[in-house]
Structure 1
Amino acid sequence: MNNTTTAVFYDGNSSVPQQITLTLNSFNRTLEFQSADGSTCKWLVADITFEKRSSGLHLEHGAEVLQHIKIQDANFIHLIQNFRKANGQIGWYQKLIDIGFAAHMGIAVVIMALIGLCYVYIIPWAAEQSVSLIPEEYDNELGNSAWVGNQYFMNVDSTKTKLLNDFAKELKLHNTKKLKFTVVKSNEINAFALPNGSIVVFTGILQEMKNYDELVGLLGHEASHVNNRHSMKMLCRSLSGYLFISVILGDANGIMATIGDNVNSLQSLSFSREFEHQADADGFKILLENKVNPQGMANLFKRLQQQHSYTIPEFLSSHPVTENRIDFINTMIKNKKFQTIAHPQLESLFAQLKE
């Protein structure tokens, strides 16, 4: 391959281009040429800045006076690039530029796919794991804020609230913090737990129940959400993507607004299958340990599904009940040995709650 080519030279003092004969001296590791004034110039390849453009290869050299050479000879450009590679003078960035458009597109697709996977899986998972580092005082503060934001829209039934708390006192719920039960007058078929230990039960769902064992199953299920900090975990998962983007953009106001919006919707967070499965299993254990018929939980879910097949109750929208979950409960009933006893006090309190 010829180590000589013609090129265009700008001496840095004049805008007038000069046609030069440029030679690559591999032994001295220099590019050599003769300028218009007759002087011989020798540029060390290691001291040259190279930039590949659509118009050719552009070389810059010098500190006080910046000189410029433009090469359009493809063979000579290839010769220089091979020389630089052989001498370890091409960095990773230049190598990345040189690999071509198709490769760039492939890398871009891979990067976008990785970002998408991180956004959908890694970031939410990391957010959920980070809950263990958050003191439980934050659960109480968020739960209190959510309660304050919603209590003005709730018509609390104080008589039934006392009855429900008396009902819960008869049970071993394995709660890790004090639980506070509230009955709200509403036809809405719903119940939810806040991270501060507040469990709200609407009269609408109480009216759907036929036996006290269904209420025990419901309270055990909601207590499990509190004990396992499911609301905080789902809140962190819900926030993780927004927070990630807001932090990158430096939008502190956006972060606070997003937190505020999500705190106010804590009661309507839809739990993941994993969390619902855990709450079902814990609720089932609570039924067994209190010697209450575990069929109550399955009966409640079946009834809510069958009687409201056209209009999904609020409870099912935030606690999605699938056939798999009902089958899971029925399988545990078949495979677990359990003993039930009469609970006249629970039965009496339940009857009063139904009035």
Structure 2
Amino acid sequence: MNTFQIKYFDGVTSAIQEGTVKLSYGHWDIRLEKPDGTMSSIHWQLKDIKQTEFVGNTNIFKYGDFPQQTLECNDPDFVKALSLQYPDYEFFKKEYFWALNKGTGVFVGITVVLLLLCVGVYKYILPSVAESLALTVPQEYEIKWGNMMFENMIQAPKKGEMGSELNLTKNDTLSRLANQFVKEIDFKTTYPIKITVVNEKVVNAFALPGGNVVVFNGLLKKMKTKEEFAALLGHEVAHVTHKHSLKNIFRSLSGYLFMSLITNDLNGITAVILDNANKLQNLGYSRELEAEADESSMKTLKENKIPTKGLLNLFKILEDSSQVAPPELLSSHPLTEERMKFAKKNQIMNEKIIENPRLESIWKEILIAENKL
């Protein structure tokens, strides 16, 4: 029998298609079932079928140039049928046959070693590779993904409806004022920064890829000065500008994203990110990324002639809040001793400040709006 059940990947999307392959003279005949129940046919010329791979009992074949088509078959008789049908054609490396000829024990041993290597790559190497790949994503895609995530998280307030953990309710007045505030500060970024204040009592804030920054009203209520708010925005905007948010997402979802990345399936990446959007707002940043964001925030304060005590006071707010109930902000932005030391060391005493009347005026409007809530 020369017909076998297979799984087929077209190399353009991550979709799996079920079908059969028939071993014919000089080529393989592949028949696939479409979603509407009809059948389609593909012919693979023997000379263009690439070297095989194998995972356990599954044989994997590639065809054509990039993006390559892929065929998987786990029928144990498939290898034997290939040898009989094409005795002069070498599909397998000699090492593969060597392993098979040594018996089941050796083959199982090699399989176990390969599986362990795969686990190691998946757990330790793949997240780092995925994080590096985040730097190659064009800004327009990052903005698109961030906006789609934002729409998944934020809902327009409805009469009689409260915001929930996953569907945050926007405060239109405070959001409008916050966006006026942010326009008075030069963050040296090419991203379109948009601030959204949501009606939540928890002390939290997070940045999404592409420029959306969400501030929880519970944190805003604890701020007394415009310098503290400027320091917070400087920190979150830095996470956007340095692609920290995107790096975190790629690292967290590296296993899911890997196949979409290597097949250049950007629609697949979008689907994975949106499916996990509500899980991504509280991803923790590494110490290195937090330190970089702190440095950028301090630099923003200095360059805009805003008192640098704002960053230190922001950390004190978080520290005081954690004594009552741990702020959610600290779960994703751990307040380490090193961060406190950095803020104290880099605070400039008797610094030259250029007052921005517009910034002060907007901050007073924010305080007034807060008192009316």
TM range, smaller chain: 0.5 to 0.7
Which residue of structure 1 aligns with residue 152 of structure 2? 149
Corresponding position: 1:210 with 2:224 = yes
Partner Cα distance (1:168, 1:333) in 2: 22
Alpha-carbon distance change, 112 to 305 in structure 1, aligned in 2, over 3 angstroms = farther
Corresponding position: 1:122 with 2:135 = no
More helix by share: 1
Displacement after TM superposition at 1:316 (Å): 1.5
Partner Cα distance (2:261, 2:245) in 1: 23
1:170-206 superposed Cα distances (whole Å, 9 cap, x missing partner): 1111121221122222212122222131222222111
Alpha-carbon distance change, 320 to 163 in structure 1, aligned in 2, over 3 angstroms = same
Partner Cα distance (2:319, 2:255) in 1: 32
Q: TM-score, normalised by structure 1?
A: 0.63
Partner Cα distance (2:306, 2:116) in 1: 50
Alpha-carbon distance change, 338 to 235 in structure 1, aligned in 2, over 3 angstroms = same
Unaligned runs of 5+ in 1: 1-90
Partner Cα distance (2:269, 2:359) in 1: 46
Kept in 1: contact 2:135–2:243 (CA 8 A):
no
Alpha-carbon distance change, 114 to 255 in structure 1, aligned in 2, over 3 angstroms = same
Which residue of structure 2 aligns with residue 226 of structure 1? 240
Which residue of structure 2 aligns with residue 163 of structure 1? 177
Displacement after TM superposition at 1:154 (Å): 3.2
Partner Cα distance (1:337, 1:287) in 2: 14
Partner Cα distance (2:146, 2:120) in 1: 31
Partner Cα distance (2:213, 2:269) in 1: 28
Alpha-carbon distance change, 311 to 141 in structure 1, aligned in 2, over 3 angstroms = same
Please report the RMSD computed on the Cα atoms of aligned residues, expressed in angstroms. Answer: 3.6
Alpha-carbon distance change, 166 to 209 in structure 1, aligned in 2, over 3 angstroms = same
Partner Cα distance (2:324, 2:259) in 1: 38
Displacement after TM superposition at 1:271 (Å): 2.0
Displacement after TM superposition at 1:155 (Å): 2.9
Q: Which amino acid aligns with 1:143?
A: G
1:273-332 superposed Cα distances (whole Å, 9 cap, x missing partner): 222111111111001101111121121112212232352112222222212211122223
Which residue of structure 1 aligns with residue 137 of structure 2? 134
Q: TM-score, normalised by structure 2?
A: 0.60
Aligned with 1:348 (options 358, 361, 364)? 361
Q: Which amino acid aligns with 2:150?
A: W
Partner Cα distance (2:285, 2:186) in 1: 24
Kept in 2: contact 1:288–1:339 (CA 8 A):
no
Partner Cα distance (1:198, 1:234) in 2: 15
1:129-175 superposed Cα distances (whole Å, 9 cap, x missing partner): 11232222221221121121122133322222222122112111112
When Rg is computed on C-alpha atoms for both structures, the one with the higher figure is: 1
Partner Cα distance (2:279, 2:325) in 1: 21
Partner Cα distance (1:274, 1:108) in 2: 37
1:28-53 superposed Cα distances (whole Å, 9 cap, x missing partner): xxxxxxxxxxxxxxxxxxxxxxxxxx
Give 3-state SS (helix, strand or coil) of 1:303's partner: helix
Give 3-state SS (helix, strand or coil) of 1:308's partner: helix
Displacement after TM superposition at 1:243 (Å): 4.0
Q: Which amino acid aligns with 1:124?
A: P
Displacement after TM superposition at 1:92 (Å): 6.0
Q: How many residues align?
A: 262
Partner Cα distance (1:116, 1:205) in 2: 40
Q: After the TM superposition, which of the residue ranges 256-265 and 316-325 deviates more from structure 2?
A: 256-265
